[in-house]
Amino acid sequence: MGASTKFVQIIEFETDRIEEMRALAEETDQRLADRDGGPSYRLVLKDRNQPNRYLVLVEFASHEEAMRNSEDPGTSKFAEQMAALCTRPPVFTDCDVEDRTTFG
């Protein structure tokens, strides 16, 4: 797998302050909107069986892009603020995209 392999980070977290989390994400999105090398997309999922449990999938063009994004001070600040809204520390899973199929 080369540098062109898409990369997804999955962030699992629990919070009873989801509206504050959404507001923080929107504020961060606006602040970082014009920056190069950020995520391609983000998908937020709510667990139907475990209240207050969420999964966020964030796709980057490559692992290298994701690492550059992680080193950005704005990203570090967001991660600290996000963790403060969680009821337990978030869990991060790093994945190379092996296959992606679009239906319809």
Condensed to tens digits (0 to 9), the pLDDT of residues 65-89 reads: 999 988 988 888 999 999 999 999 9
pLDDT at 1 over 70: no
Given this model, what pLDDT does residue 104 score? 87
pLDDT at 29 over 90: no
pTM of the entire predicted model: 0.87
3-state secondary structure the chain: CCCCCCEEEEEEEECCCHHHHHHHHHHHHHHHCCCCCCCCEEEEEECCCCCCEEEEEEEECCHHHHHHHHHCHHHHHHHHHHHHCCCEEEEEEEEECCCCCCCC
Least confidently predicted of 1-5, 51-55, 83-87: 1-5
